[in-house]
A and B are shown apart, each in its own frame.
Chain A
Amino acid sequence: MSETPALELKHISKSFGSVIANHDVSMSVRKGEILSVLGENGSGKTTLMNMIAGIYYPDEGQIFINGSEVVIRSPKDAYEHKIGMIHQHFKLVDVFTATENIVLGLRGNGRLDLKKAAESIQEISGKYGFEIDPNKKIYQMSVSEKQTVEIIKVLYRGADILILDEPTAVLTPQETQKLFSVLRRMRDDGKAIIIITHKLHEVLSLSDRVSVLRKGEHIATVLTSETSESQLTEMMVGKKISLNIERSEPADPVDRLIVKNINCLSRGGVKLLDDVSFTARSGEILGIAGIAGSGQRELLEAIAGLQHIDNGEITYIDPKTGKKENLRDKSPLQIREMGVRLSFVPEDRLGMGLVGNMDIVDNMLLRSYRRGKSIFLEKKQPRTLAEEIIKQLEVVTPGVSTPVRRLSGGNVQKVLVGREIASSPSVLMAAYPVRGLDINSSYLIYKLLNEQKENGVAVIFVGEDLDVLLELCDRIMVIGSGKITGIVDARSATKEEIGLLMTKTESEGGTMYA
């Protein structure tokens, strides 16, 4: 095709310290086209797009817009080239109103005419069907409202090249469909659109072409009409894999943790957990599925004693004595002192589960430092444990005294999971334990979880990949907007069934695109 692409990347490379995020990536997008950038978590999609948006600067390579080379030093440069990016983590100022956020960074009269700006925002909203209060402050908004502000912000600037980073992660199916129709309308309008995603069905239903990234490298770009789900998967993961996670039958499951009618309100009065009840049994993996941010984190943190609940009960049944313990309103320390062996692999590994600037030994100490009567730290045992974990889980690290933040994502997770398992728990909770991990590490984690299950541990697994949930878990509980929408048998349930449950309450409350 002779047409010059709206945007073209040539041989882009970028590394952070010793970590290579992108290596020699070339791709292009034309006007009036939707290009999907597909890749697993950690494949370098976001880093690549951030270089187009001026957040990062490439180490090597060139960027062309409409055929001429440009240098994008800052987001300002990106805007000048009519590039607009909608980030996964919203870039909004919390104490500003929607209007203030939207006009931020624009040139114009010295005096701000917020009224006029609000009018044109309403105009854009009307045109595409958004519903928004321009004078509402961001900190009072829901996640989907914030995304609306982000999208309008880019439209307001009349961007010709739009980049959307995982835009559907927080949306209901209806909202997603609405967004897609907006995007199609923009494509027909002649805009070039790049959408980052790892959801295959979205790729197939929306885009014209797909570029696949794997481990920071560009694998291939194909026409959507000429590809299939299995071909894309193959390119994404390298070789065709059926998940084939081994799953044993639960051995005489008994109730271990009973959660009854717990409720939890956010500071703003939003229901984070809405009358949640379920039972986790020993020797069983209970999966939790749901759109990101539906209350999974609050649920696990409530059980771990990190989140205050407004009412309800959390009961733990001791495997040896059968004694019932009420965990509600107990601090993590109190829970531990009651003899409840609860392990928790949180979603935020370096921000919560581990201390990034400390070495592996000191991170082992987190769980065990209180042991013993001495006022001094006992480091021998943690050191042995660290060495064992490194050996058994094949952690790639220069040594036990390397700060964990310098390890790669998979190795960080091995350290964390290794430590949590080492305390021989009777309940093990893991939130997104394979997020951002390569295939091998992921399988290692599945194997570890299965081992725990076979040892009679009640495992609670919060996941995002439905295929994994269906193959790994025994039962799957679906959560939507803080409410349990169903608990299904993982052996007989279908993806569609779970997908439906995930969006059940969301669809009632979805008012974003009226």
Chain B
Amino acid sequence: MLETLALVIQRAVVQGIPLLYGSTGEIITEKSGNLNLGIPGIMYVGGISGVIGAFFYERSTENPSSLLLVLIPLLASILGSGLMALIYSFLTITLRANQNVTGLTLTIFGTGFGNFFGGSMAQLFGEGGSIALTQTSLAFQTSFPFAEKLGSIGTIFFSYGFLAYLAVIIAFISAYVLKKTRVGLQLRAVGENPATADAAGVNVTRYKYAATIIGGAIAGLGGLYFVMDYTSGVWSNGGFGDRGWLAIALVIFALWKPNVSVIGSILFGGLYVIYLFIPDLARSTQELFKMLPYVVTIIVLIVVSMRKKREYQPPEHLGLSYFREER
């Protein structure tokens, strides 16, 4: 029984990690007032950029070092998703384009980019078949060696690759920065009321750019985790599914707090896989279970809007662009 529970939690965590990356990234972005609906696309690009990096490194050497096996995909992923976020930032912040339209375009572009290179890279660069990055994946999946000895405790806490722990660490650091530091205060002010932040001497443009790009890079790591750790280095087109949108749902569920997001991601991950652990479910009913995270999010959204508590609302200026000389 305990072992089953440990397994459930482990599966939930593994499912939750990409969502946690995505939602932490999106929270940081939204705190600056940018509703980036391009996050699903960014996560695709984060994944495929890592794959590309790993692909070339694995091909280039006979004896890859495990440090580089990790570092190259990591940097490639950050670069790729950071660039995506830069496109979004330039269009919405500098050119003041509509955020919804820009974000959705970014998602079209990003998923296209991921699926194109994922599907045809091997062919493009002269190797048939699909890509399986076994060595890289092994490096990413390395967990604590003592995990197995600890039984259920080990399964729950120590059985993951380093990216899983990084996700939690990043989430807590983000929560701390947002709540306790000067930078966090100013970032929140930009998202709540950019005119006020501007008048107080905060560089609104710089904060929006920085938050969106850093947020994008963090979200992209979710894609990287998914392909390197969760699917063991095998890219399959469309395999990432709707996780990007689920990450955005998680932002609402967590009430724009990255530390709540940690618990939320595990819960969402649990809801996502719970059907696997309920005996005798019809296959059709399983599909209904997959609806749960979204339904829960809708309920949270409704309850929060009904309670009208100011602290739980989205950033006030979310989705709007800022132009100082507007009048």
Contact = CB atoms under 8 A, between A and B. Distances in A.
A and B touch in the complex (CB under 8 A): yes
Contacts, number: 86
Given A104-B186, A110-B182, A94 B200 contact: no
Contacts of B316: 94-95
Interface of B: 180-186, 188-189, 192-193, 195-203, 310-311, 316, 324-325, 327
Contacts of A16: 325, 327
A93 B193 CA distance: 6
Contacts of A85: 199
Nearest to A85: B199
A111 B181 contact: yes
Given A96-B188, A104-B185, 13 more contacts: A56-B324, A57-B325, A74-B203, A75-B198, A87-B199, A91-B196, A91-B200, A93-B188, A96-B192, A105-B189, A105-B200, A106-B201, A107-B182
A100 interface: yes
A95 B310 contact: yes
A357 to B, nearest CB: 14
Contacts of A55: 198-199, 324-325
Given A94-B316, A95-B311, A139-B310, A105 B181 contact: no
B32 to A, nearest CB: 14
A339 interface: no
A111 B201 contact: no
Contacts of B188: 93, 96
Nearest to B183: A110
Contacts of A398: none
Contact of A105 (B197, B325, B327): B197
A103 B327 contact: no
A344 interface: no
A350 B31 CA distance: 30
Interface string A87-117: 1000111111000110111111111100000
Contact of B196 (A53, A56, A93, A106): A93
A85 B185 CA distance: 21
8 contacts: A16-B327, A75-B201, A91-B195, A93-B192, A95-B311, A104-B185, A112-B180, A112-B184
Contacts of A341: none
Interface residues of A, number: 33
A111 B180 CA distance: 6
Contacts of B325: 16, 55-57
B201 A79 contact: yes
A106 B185 CA distance: 11
A35 B260 CA distance: 52
A187 interface: no
A492 to B, nearest CB: 43
A76 interface: yes
A79 B199 CA distance: 9
A94 B310 contact: yes
B189 A94 contact: no
Given A74-B203, A111-B182, A96 B324 contact: no
Contact of B182 (A53, A76, A112): A112
B193 to A, nearest CB: 5
A331 to B, nearest CB: 23
Given A75-B198, A109-B182, A111-B181, A94 B203 contact: no
Interface of A: 16, 53, 55-57, 74-76, 78-79, 85, 87, 91-96, 100-101, 103-112, 137, 139, 153
A154 B213 CA distance: 33
B196 A103 contact: no
A76 B201 contact: yes
A153 B192 CA distance: 18
A100 B186 CA distance: 9
A93 B310 CA distance: 12
A94 B193 contact: yes
6 tightest A-B contacts by CB?
Answer: A105-B200, A76-B201, A105-B201, A91-B196, A91-B199, A104-B200
Contacts of B324: 55-56, 74
A308 B203 CA distance: 41
Given A95-B311, A110-B182, A105 B193 contact: no
Contacts of A53: 199
Contact of A108 (B180, B182, B196, B200): B182
Given A94-B310, A103-B185, A75 B180 contact: no
B55 to A, nearest CB: 39
B182 to A, nearest CB: 5
Contacts of A56: 324-325
Most buried by B among A16, A53, A91, A100: A91
A78 B200 CA distance: 10
A95 B191 CA distance: 11
A59 to B, nearest CB: 11
A105 B195 CA distance: 12
Contacts of A91: 193, 195-196, 199-200
Contacts of B196: 91-93, 101, 104
A75 B200 contact: yes
A74 B202 CA distance: 9
A74 B203 CA distance: 8
A232 to B, nearest CB: 28
Nearest to B179: A112
A94 B182 contact: no
Given A74-B201, A76-B203, A94-B310, A105 B192 contact: no
A105 B186 contact: yes
A85 B182 CA distance: 22
A293 to B, nearest CB: 20
Contacts of A139: 310
Contacts of A75: 198-201
Nearest to A90: B196
Contacts of B195: 91
A56 B197 CA distance: 15
A198 to B, nearest CB: 20
B327 A95 contact: no
Contacts of A96: 185, 188-189, 192
A271 B198 CA distance: 33
A88 to B, nearest CB: 12
A104 B197 contact: yes
A103 B181 CA distance: 11
B43 to A, nearest CB: 29
Contacts of B181: 110-112
A55 B327 CA distance: 11
Contacts of B201: 74-76, 78-79, 105-106
Contacts of B311: 95
Contacts of A93: 188-189, 192-193, 196-197
